[in-house]
Amino acid sequence: MTTELTVRDAVFDYCRRVGMTTVFGNPGSTELRMLRDFPADFEYVLGLQEIVAVGAAAGHAIGTGNAALVNLHSAGGVGNALGAVFTAHRDRVPLVIIAGQQTRAMLPTRPFLGADEPEQFPRPYVKWSRQPARAEDVPAALAEAYRTAMTHPRGPVFLSVPEDDWDRPAEPVPHREIRGGFAADPAALAEVAEALDGAERPAVIVGSGVEDEDALPLVVDLAERTGAPVWISPLSGRSGFPEDHALFRGFLPPVRDQLARRLAEYDVVLVLGAPVFNYHVHSEGPFLPEGTRLFHFDCDADQLAWAPVGVGVLTTLRAGITGLLERVAKADRPAPEPRPRLAKPQASDPMDAALVIETLRERLPEDAVIVEECPSHRDMFHARLPVTRPGGFYTMGSGSLGWSLPMAVGRALAGSGERIVCVLGDGAIMYSVQALWTAAQHRLPMTVIVLNNGGYGAVRALGRRIGIEDIVGADVTGIDFTAVARGHGCAGRAVTSAADLDAAMAEALGHDGPFLLDVSVMADNSAMYGSTP
């Protein structure tokens, strides 16, 4: 083959053509040849730990709507990153992950830092995984990986590249695009429309897929046409419906018997882009109340296959909901009773975490984006800080801590100056606290609020739910979070008195650059997801 183009040239050329010109990573020896002569029109965003690199890439992908490029270091770096890869998979975030590998000549001797069976390492939490058989196949493999990541259901993909491949000759990747939208069989849409038209008490359940597929306006139209109350699915990583809308009813619990009881008043339930039977703790009983019919729209055939009950309809949401809107009649159903507005808690020391969230709500800029990772306060958080617009809220849908802080960094990098407000537990922040350094290096408009209750409150609450009062290893004490922040170049302030909270919140939200607010709150002694069974 006669060409002056190298694998590195062809890869960066393809990335440039599809808009992946920001690389998130933590480099090592097996990536040096990839990064040599780094293109001037690309940006490398350094994360001080691999989970930070993947989480920040995910935030950037969510903010731009395009896959983000991640550079990881061989087996060790991939291993460090897998918790974040798992969450990206569950939340359907398109990432193209390139991991270094030792030279092809060294692989038979199981070299230091080499990855054994690299294609298998990140599975099953990537959609696609390869180490090409030949160096010249790397650019085409990257293109296949990108197209796979961006095809619904979107998600992370993985490419392992031996380090000596980058300087080998290669051909440019031909142009190719995929039109990924697809609709359900018309007979299936007609069946669902007929069920909705004939229902006495229909309901809609929405999940992360609604925002991922930019289908929220269509969901609002469908809910208003059918008069159906709308719930958000258990442990959803994003919002999917304006929470100040008259038809919004709240968040479903990730407990089988509780979820079934919430749905008992409905005869037809339509699920849109959500793994609705997504449980966190065990309970007995039916998946659905007797007499309730369930229809489930999703673009993921695997999701529909494992769901235990109901009728699955394979479709991308925009196409499927559009088809329903063409078939469903306008219903005249009374709106549900308005949800009561919770009163602001009284000031006390130590503070009620609800007071912190109410104070945040009062001072929150109109265009701010909320990122949350405080599991022990999640129900309260949603009840007091409603999400009212698309793209205004994100959390981690997998339950794997350490996702939200770096994801907030990436979302800020993809933004246009709007304030990113990341609310974390004191346990959660320590999984990826290095992300503060990246935020400081880029002077990002971020406010990080630590709800400091001295430990893993969610673990304590779940322990109480199953009758375990004394949980070993649930206490997190002795950490000066403002000192940790300052050590990473991020300004900070601690608040221990309710009298100082409002002024501190104003400072944190108005600071030029990232700011950490460490707020001491009382331990939450309530049981998670309701009372002990």
On whether the CB atoms of residues 165 and 135 are closer than 8 A, the answer is yes
On whether the CB atoms of residues 457 and 523 are closer than 8 A, the answer is yes
Active-site annotation holds for 73 = yes
- Beta bridge partner(s), residue 518: 450, 494
Distances (CA, A) of 411 to 24, 367, 380, 398: 13, 13, 24, 18
Residue 408 φ then ψ, to 5°:
-65, -35
Active-site annotation holds for 207 = no
As a whole number of Å, the CA-based R_g of the chain is: 24
- 73, 296, 377, 488: the active-site residue: 73
CB < 8 Å & 24+ apart, contacts of 278-281: 278/233, 278/234, 278/235, 278/254, 279/234, 279/254, 279/255, 280/234, 280/235, 280/254, 280/255, 280/399, 280/462, 280/529, 281/254, 281/255, 281/462, 281/465, 281/466, 281/528, 281/529
- 28, 310, 427, 492: the active-site residue: 28
- 25, 47, 50, 382: the active-site residue: 50
- Beta bridge partner(s), residue 493: 517
Distances (CA, A) of 458 to 475, 524, 527, 529: 11, 9, 9, 10
- 25, 31, 312, 358: the active-site residue: 31
Instruction: Report d(CA 407, CA 242) in Å as an integer.
Output: 22
Residue identified by tokens 């990232």 is 514
Helices then strands (H, E): number in the chain?
18, 18
Instruction: Report d(CA 220, CA 10) in Å as an integer.
Output: 44
Active-site annotation holds for 526 = no
On whether the CB atoms of residues 119 and 158 are closer than 8 A, the answer is yes
Distances (CA, A) of 199 to 193, 220, 269, 291, 325: 10, 18, 9, 12, 16
On whether the CB atoms of residues 178 and 151 are closer than 8 A, the answer is yes
Residue 46 φ then ψ, to 5°:
-85, 130
On whether the CB atoms of residues 448 and 428 are closer than 8 A, the answer is no
Q: According to DSSP H, which parts of 157-215 are helical?
A: 186-198, 208-212
- 280, 442, 507, 530: the active-site residue: 280
Instruction: Report d(CA 463, CA 470) in Å as an integer.
Output: 8
- 65, 399, 489, 513: the active-site residue: 399
Order of strands, edge to edge, in the sheet holding 515-520? 393-394, 369-373, 420-425, 446-452, 515-520, 491-495
* Residues assigned a catalytic role: 28-29, 31, 50, 73, 280, 399
